[in-house]
Structure 1
Amino acid sequence: MNFNFLSPVPDSVVAHNELLSPQALGQKFRIHSSQNGIPDLNGVKVALLGVLENRNDVNYIGEAFQLDEIRKSLYALYPGSWNTVVADLGDINKGETVSDTYFALRETIEILVKKKIIPIILGGTQDLTYANYRAYDDLIPMVNIVNVDCRFDLGDSAKPIKNNSFVGKIILDEPYNLFSYANIGYQTYFNSQEEIDLMEKLYFETYRLGKVANDIKLVEPVLRDANIVSLDLNAVKGAEVSLKQKFSPNGLDGKEICAIARYAGISNKVSSFGIYEYKPSKDDEITSMLISQIIWYFIEGVNYRVKDDDFSDENSYQKYITLIESEELIFYKSIKTGRWWIEIPFLSEVNNKLKRHTLLPCMHQDYVDACNNKVPDRWYKALQRNSI
């Protein structure tokens, strides 16, 4: 297996890990060390992957970058009652060019996803999500991305890719494999009206910070439908992070960002999860601890995944049919978990890549709304995307 791009976890971090309690997470991880090489990946479900690339930051001034403090914080936490096996594969160093780093990341993610191992990518800049997306070119026909971010990051796609324009590149670059893009936690004043209008026009989903803070459960269905989840630490409010990491007085708090990570982990579809825009600084403990807890909650979610989205067995779900005007809406409820889905009809005249009835995760409230003659917003947007 070609993991040539990976450098081991630094010896100082491995040495620090040796001193921890035998019950600590770090003692249970399979770690890529200079002494032992790449660990055995049999049975591994989740793999940590550092990427030391930040040159596409619009504010890049040549600062060095490392993830040692995050690892030290994470290793020292205690696991839940998990049976999920986790490996730390070390880091992908900066390539000669950023494109080289993208290539290394893309190849590594593709290998892991094929092996049914979920990579947790610890980044530098969020443009690495583009390489993550491209890793799926030969894996699945259409990709759903969720971006937890205060900005849409559409940028000017005519210019070279940066950490504030990678979404524009994902939308416009061939091959066109993006089916849906959703943003969780955007703040209106960080996004131009043109960008907000474009998101509407493309029928992408957007969840404003206030809406998410008001009811965090709103974002569970959109995360249940995601293949890739990309989390920008600038979405977190300044009071929750260290000095260099502070971005905005408003944002998601620690509890909310961890709940989002857990929802992503529980989703049967999420096959890669990235945490980006980490900026190490001297007073770093609080940010590295927050990132560690985000990772902890994601692994916790993966541990409690339940296969409830196979609707071939009629005894495993209840089916509900409602009528809105002349449209028949069909809902499914999992008996095992109580989670809901809505069917998107196949449009035979449209030459899309789906070619089948698609089940879209939704909430019980969507069914209640449909019974009251209100079209669920997620269903409407997905139907429109299907027919573009």
Structure 2
Amino acid sequence: MELEFFTPVNAELAEIAGNKLRSSLRIHLEDKAFPDLDGVKIAFFGVLEDRLDEEPTGEPFNFDDIRREFYNLYPGNWHLPMADLGDIQKGETVEDTFFAVQSAVNVCLKKGIIPVILGGSEDLVYAQYRAYDGVEQMVNLVNIDSKFDLGDADKPISNRSYVGKIVVTKPYNLFNYSSLGYQTYFNSQDEIELMDRLFFDAYRLGEVTGDITVIEPVMRDANLVSLDLGAISGGALGNYRLKSPNGFDGKEICALSRYAGISDKVSSFGVYEYTARLNFPASRMLIAQILWYFVEGVNFRKNENTISSKKEFIRYQVPIDDEILVFYKSPVSGRWWIEIPFISPVSNKLKRHTLLPCTQGDYLDACNQIIPERWYKTKRKNEI
């Protein structure tokens, strides 16, 4: 780990006693050795960067109060070692900060550690994504946000245009982008149509809150997840002066965080758009609980590697028109997958038969001759 990237955690925070979460963490403290990362499964760190925020507050911020709330929570029945690496300060340039974040995440991925990033502006997702260069063949990004953040890829990157940069910038590692909780009035019709043309997934806020379980398969297929705190309602964050009264409530956002944690594929998680405007007791506690639920999810992973476990799954074949859809069900967890076929004459992006997470409802729809939309989109992306 590149130690020079990290400044240590405030020593006062380490004084929390008792059987709180603090006792379960290996913390980077001043005048102490950098924590031993052998066996660590989850590593937290903050990134104090917000210079590409399109609506900057100009006020300094830090994560000490969030850490205090998180350290003071009681752990669940957990057994996975965790570490707090400290903070990455602003570099001389934003590109320097990006390099530090990309390097830190990349090292964590290679060590089998899940990095959990607390960030300022959400353009940091670009650095989180670039850490997968050379690590994964293709990656899926899930963003919990009220906006798509596609922006104009021809303009400089910002916290509202980083997805566009991800799409158009080499190396092209992105296979799928899923937006959870978007609010139509915050997104132009051009962007909504572009999401459709790119065969990306977009779930409106009402669709997710109406039945939050619909996003479980989406999270199960994600490699990296980002959460924009602007997706949460102002009331849930304890600040009614924030712009949007609509958004996820505390229970819903924690459920989404737990889904991200319990996914066997999610290998990095970021919580972004923290500013001085969110330094309220309810905001800090909610963010701490979001982190808590992600950790709980990781601790309850089923470790159902879809390649090695496939032979244990129950297989179902459903003929639809000229297609035969192949579904699999895990006898252990009861979760479902649908097979995306390998297309040999085509430059197949996934290079092999792939199991796409789905729901039992998708299987039942297929039995009624309705092709699942996510299967169709994934198959079309694979053919392009």
Specify if TM > 0.5. Answer: yes
Q: Structure 2 matches for 1:238-277, cutoff 5 A? A: 238-243=234-239, 246-277=242-273
Question: Counterpart of 2:223 in structure 1: which amino acid?
Answer: N
Counterpart of 1:101? 97
Distance 2:349 2:324 in 1: 23
1:356 positional shift: 0.7
Distance 1:74 1:280 in 2: 18
Question: Counterpart of 1:13 in structure 2: which amino acid?
Answer: L
1:247 positional shift: 3.1
Distance 2:310 2:236 in 1: 46
Distance 1:362 1:123 in 2: 31
Counterpart of 1:327? 323
> Are the equivalent residues in 2 in contact too, given 1:244–1:279 (CA < 8 A)?
no
Paired positions, count: 384
Distance 1:245 1:181, change over 3 A: farther
Counterpart of 2:173? 177
Residue number among 63, 71, 74 corresponding to 2:70 in the alignment: 74
Counterpart of 1:377? 373
Distance 1:251 1:31, change over 3 A: same
TM-score by length of 2: 0.97
Deviations 1:88-134 (A, max 9, x none): 00000000000000000000100001000000000001100000000
Distance 1:240 1:2 in 2: 37
Per the alignment, in what secondary structure is the counterpart of residue 240 of structure 1?
Answer: coil
The answer to which of 34-43 and 333-342 deviates more is 34-43
Distance 1:313 1:148 in 2: 29
Q: Structure 2 matches for 1:225-374, cutoff 5 A? A: 225-243=221-239, 246-281=242-277, 284-312=280-308, 316-374=312-370
RMSD: 1.4
Counterpart of 1:159? 155
Distance 2:309 2:113 in 1: 27
TM-score by length of 1: 0.96
The answer to which of 343-352 and 202-211 deviates more is 343-352
Counterpart of 2:10? 10
Question: Counterpart of 1:209 in structure 2: which amino acid?
Answer: L
Distance 1:315 1:200, change over 3 A: closer
Distance 1:79 1:312 in 2: 32
Listed as ranges, the gaps of 5+ residues in structure 2 are: none
Listed as ranges, the gaps of 5+ residues in structure 1 are: none
> Are the equivalent residues in 2 in contact too, given 1:318–1:334 (CA < 8 A)?
yes
1:316 positional shift: 2.1
1:243 positional shift: 2.8
Residue number among 45, 50, 53 corresponding to 1:49 in the alignment: 45
Residue number among 211, 214, 217 corresponding to 2:207 in the alignment: 211
Distance 2:210 2:167 in 1: 30
Per the alignment, in what secondary structure is the counterpart of residue 239 of structure 1?
Answer: coil
> Are the equivalent residues in 1 in contact too, given 2:22–2:72 (CA < 8 A)?
yes
> Are the equivalent residues in 2 in contact too, given 1:137–1:175 (CA < 8 A)?
yes
1:350 positional shift: 1.7
> Are the equivalent residues in 1 in contact too, given 2:148–2:182 (CA < 8 A)?
yes
Counterpart of 2:30? 34
The yes-or-no answer on 1:187 pairing with 2:183 is yes
> Are the equivalent residues in 1 in contact too, given 2:138–2:173 (CA < 8 A)?
yes
1:155 positional shift: 0.7
1:282 positional shift: 8.1
Deviations 1:48-80 (A, max 9, x none): 010000001001253212111100000000000
Distance 1:102 1:223, change over 3 A: same
Residue number among 217, 220, 234 corresponding to 1:221 in the alignment: 217
Distance 1:312 1:24, change over 3 A: closer
Distance 1:101 1:282, change over 3 A: closer
1:195 positional shift: 0.1
Per the alignment, in what secondary structure is the counterpart of residue 144 of structure 1?
Answer: strand
Distance 1:364 1:309 in 2: 19
